[in-house]
């Protein structure tokens, strides 16, 4: 596949599943229509992550994200996509109660946004819910390892799967894959464990801080663009420093306004036009 995918082909969860062991899957988050259109040019999956709560709404974690927020942003992203597969995170509290609750909320997300799949965090304890959704026509992307919605029980945003804990994470990945997930996100794991899980399960793994041997990679778009000047997680490569550039542009604008050099004559309208 070229850097700019075939614009006529809309990727599906089935297409993503078929990429196991093939060309790496490219995934980025998107939360708005303009950013979705940019992501769509080069990515296979556009993920409307519940990270939107922290990235765009200033929340301290993803726990305060609501169904309404996810649906609003997913609708915006859907308008910007032609090629990428649209996956939407189910927010905290929208599926943990059980399969029936999960189905109601997942069905609402898909019906109101046009999403092609939903993403759920969790492992063995969520496998029955994954199986229930898939059996009823809702494709599911799994997410194991560091699961941000469980940050309070995990004790923070720590690397998972070290030492004896590797077996727990591997079992979680196997459980959701066997339950029917078409892919599984592996977050913040030792690279060797990411490689092991990728070999062990039959569906693609998509890493975020889980090593280069995963079947694909996902990052938060604002992180790779450098829109946050202070937040620099180890697993993120900063491809630009747009936050600093934006700050300089805003400062220049403010200086122009205060000095009355903006608006200049070329930016204003004359009283009359020449014949």
CA–CA separation, 88 and 96 (whole Å): 16
Q: Is 40 annotated as a binding residue?
A: no
Name the DSSP class of 122: B
Residue closest to 216 by CA, chosen among 237, 187, 245, 192: 187
Residue closest to 176 by CA, chosen among 226, 140, 150: 140
Residue 197 φ/ψ, nearest 5 degrees: -65, -40
- Token duo for residue 221: 């778009």
Give yes or no for a contact between 186 and 207, defined as CB atoms under 8 angstroms apart: yes
Reduced to 3 states (helix: H, G, I; strand: E, B; else coil), residue 255 is: helix
The string of DSSP codes covering 197-228 is HHHHSSS-EEEESS-TTSSEEEE-HHHHHT--
Could you tell me the sign of the dihedral formed by the alpha carbons of 36, 182, 133, 96, in that order? negative
Q: Is 42 annotated as a binding residue?
A: no
CA dihedral 187, 193, 195, 197 (to 10 degrees): -80
Q: Is 51 annotated as a binding residue?
A: yes
Q: Please confirm, yes or no, whether 178 is among the known catalytic residues.
A: no
Catalytically annotated residue among 23, 82, 178, 187: 187
Name the DSSP class of 141: E
Annotated binding site for Mg(2+): which residue ranges?
50, 89, 121
Annotated binding site: which residue ranges?
50-51, 89, 119, 121
Annotated binding site for 3-methyl-2-oxobutanoate: which residue ranges?
50-51, 89, 119
Which amino acids are annotated catalytic?
Answer: 187
């Amino acid at each position: 596949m070229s850097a700019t995918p075939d614009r006529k082909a809309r990727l599906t969860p089935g297409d993503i599943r078929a990429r196991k062991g093939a060309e790496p899957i490219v995934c980025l988050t998107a939360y708005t229509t303009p950013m979705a259109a940019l992501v769509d040019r080069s990515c296979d999956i556009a993920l409307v992550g519940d990270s939107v709560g922290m990235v765009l709404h200033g929340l301290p974690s993803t726990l305060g994200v609501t169904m309404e927020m996810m649906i609003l942003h997913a609708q915006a992203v859907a308008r910007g996509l032609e090629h990428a597969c649209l996956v939407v995170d189910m927010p905290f509290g929208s599926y943990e109660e059980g399969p029936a609750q999960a189905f109601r909320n997942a069905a609402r997300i898909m019906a109101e946004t046009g999403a092609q799949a939903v993403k759920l965090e969790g492992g063995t304890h969520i496998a029955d819910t994954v199986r229930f959704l898939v059996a009823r026509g809702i494709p599911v992307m799994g997410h194991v390892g560091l699961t941000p919605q469980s940050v309070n029980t995990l004790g923070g945003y720590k690397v998972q799967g070290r030492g004896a804990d590797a077996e727990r994470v591997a079992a979680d990945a196997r459980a959701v894959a066997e339950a029917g997930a078409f892919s599984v996100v592996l977050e913040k794991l030792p690279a060797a464990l990411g490689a092991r899980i990728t070999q062990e399960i039959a569906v693609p793994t998509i890493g975020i801080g889980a090593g280069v041997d995963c079947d694909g990679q996902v990052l938060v778009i604002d992180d790779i663009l450098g829109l946050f000047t202070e937040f620099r997680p180890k697993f993120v490569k900063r491809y630009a420093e747009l936050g600093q550039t934006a700050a300089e542009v805003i400062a220049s604008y403010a200086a122009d306004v205060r000095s009355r050099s903006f608006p200049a004559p070329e930016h204003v309208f004359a009283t009359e036009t020449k014949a």
